[in-house]
């Protein structure tokens, strides 16, 4: 069996939203880390007993560092966010196949909260590759302060006509002109920002509840199951 374990050292941290921080790592062996945007690693901080948890890589392969963007939640996320610069941790991975392969189709991404992490990597990589696929990101959060990568995403959308971002807030009527909708993602929102329903691939990422709600919503709109791809965070 292939050994996918590599040691990484923490080199930087960056706050991204309420309770969300990006951690930037480099491999201690100095070699490149080969991964696809949208993949994740399994991690068990040395301070924690028992099994580890999965965290999506939010950087892209051409970036200087490998980043994970983590929301403070329970035991392992807190242990990760408590890491200090120069602390080391083992990455097991990369794992997963949650990335667009069907080139030539438009992509609709439905993200709930911290479920934005694979999409952030995929969007940056799609733009960098020069692809002309149209991407619509529909991104749901409770409040504006919960929107991870808000400034970075806005900058990407401002500079790329093929990227449209629709922000939905469920618990706040923020006055920011970038915010589009003040309710949960529903068929009306998906139709409104996405006129080519049948020609798209749909990617859903968020909590188990968000992922299953969105899957059911797309099914109720007669979207073909083969065009729906999901990643549930648990």
Ligand X SMILES: Cc1cc2nc3c(=O)[nH]c(=O)nc-3n(C[C@H](O)[C@H](O)[C@H](O)COP(=O)(O)OP(=O)(O)OC[C@H]3O[C@@H](n4cnc5c(N)ncnc54)[C@H](O)[C@@H]3O)c2cc1C
Contacts of 226 (CB under 8 A, 6+ apart): none
Q: Is 49 in the site for ligand X (CB under 6 A)?
A: no
Name which of residues 87 to 146 contact ligand X (CB under 6 A): 114, 117
* 40/149 with CB nearer ligand X: 40
Task: Say if CB 20 and CB 69 are below 8 A apart.
Answer: yes
At its nearest, how many Å lie between ligand X and the CB of residue 91? 13
At its nearest, how many Å lie between ligand X and the CB of residue 5? 17
- In the bound state, the residue with its beta carbon closest to ligand X is 74
Of 171, 154, 79, nearest in space to 120 by CA: 154
Name which of residues 63 to 82 contact ligand X (CB under 6 A): 69-71, 73-78
Q: How far is CA 137 from CA 110, 204, 232, in A?
A: 6, 10, 17
At its nearest, how many Å lie between ligand X and the CB of residue 131? 23
* 20/190 with CB nearer ligand X: 20
CA gap 219, 170 in Å, rounded:
22
At its nearest, how many Å lie between ligand X and the CB of residue 229? 13
Task: Say if CB 231 and CB 118 are below 8 A apart.
Answer: yes
H/E stretch holding 209: helix 208-220
| Structure tokens given for 70 | 């983590």
At its nearest, how many Å lie between ligand X and the CB of residue 92? 12
CA gap 107, 103 in Å, rounded:
9
* 92/186 with CB nearer ligand X: 92
Binding site for ligand X (CB under 6 A): 40, 53-56, 69-71, 73-78, 114, 117, 231, 233-234
């Amino acid at each position: 069996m292939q050994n996918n374990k590599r040691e990484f050292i923490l080199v930087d941290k960056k706050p991204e939203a309420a309770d969300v921080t990006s951690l930037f790592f480099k491999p201690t062996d100095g070699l490149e880390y080969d991964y696809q945007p949208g993949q994740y690693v399994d991690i068990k901080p040395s301070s924690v007993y028992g099994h580890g948890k999965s965290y999506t890589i939010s950087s892209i392969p051409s970036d200087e560092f490998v980043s994970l963007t983590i929301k403070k939640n329970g035991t392992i996320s807190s242990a990760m966010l408590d890491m200090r610069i120069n602390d080391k941790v083992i990455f097991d991975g990369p794992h997963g196949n949650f990335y667009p392969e069907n080139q030539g189709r438009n992509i609709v991404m439905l993200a709930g909260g911290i479920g934005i992490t694979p999409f952030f990597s995929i969007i940056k990589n799609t733009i960098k590759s020069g692809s002309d696929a149209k991407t619509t990101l529909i991104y749901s959060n409770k409040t504006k302060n919960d929107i991870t990568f808000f400034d970075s995403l806005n900058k990407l959308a401002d500079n790329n006509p093929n990227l449209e971002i629709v922000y939905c807030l469920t618990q706040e009527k923020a006055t920011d002109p970038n915010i589009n909708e003040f309710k949960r993602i529903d068929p009306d929102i998906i139709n409104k920002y996405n006129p080519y329903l049948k020609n798209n691939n749909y990617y859903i990422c968020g909590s188990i509840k968000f992922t299953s709600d969105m899957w059911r919503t797309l099914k109720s709109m007669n979207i073909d199951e083969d065009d729906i791809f999901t990643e549930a965070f648990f």
